Chains A and B, each alone.
Chain A
Amino acid sequence: MDALPKSFKERRTFGQRVREVEQVRKEYPDKVPVIIERYAHENQLPPLDRSKFLIPEHVHVGELIKILRRRLQLNSSQSIFLIVNGRNLPANASTFAEIYRNEADPDGFLYIVYASHETFGSSSPQECPMTDYNNRFSN
Chain B
Amino acid sequence: MASTLRALLEWPHLRRGLLIGLCVVLYVAPLAVGTEYRLFIATQMGVYILVAIGLNLLNGYGGQVSLGHGALVAIGAYAAALTMVDLHWSFWPAALLAMVMAAGVGLLMALPAFRLSTWYFALITLGFAEVIAGLLTEWRALTHGFAGVVGIPAPKAFGYAFTARDLYWFVLTLVVLTLVGMANLLNSRFGRALVAVRDNPVAATASGVSLVRIKIFAFVLSAAVAGLAGALFAVQKTVITPEDFPADFSVFFLLVIVLGGSGRLAGPVVGALVFFLVPELLTALQSWRLLIYGGALLLLMLYAPHGLVGAAEGLWKKLRARLGLPNIPPTPVAADAPIRAIDGAQLSVRDVSKRFGGVAALASVDLDVAPGVTHAIVGPNGSGKTTLLNMISGYYRVDQGAIAVEGRRTENLAPHAIARAGVGRTFQTPRLLPHLSVLENVLLGAFTAEKHSWLSAALALPAARREQQASLAEALRYLEFVGLRERAMELAGELPHGQQRLAEIARALVGRPKLLMLDEPAAGLSLAELDRLGELIAAIRGIGATVVIVEHHLELVADICSRVTALERGAVLASGAPQDVFSDQAVVSAYMGAHVRIGEKGA
- The yes or no verdict on A and B being binding partners is no
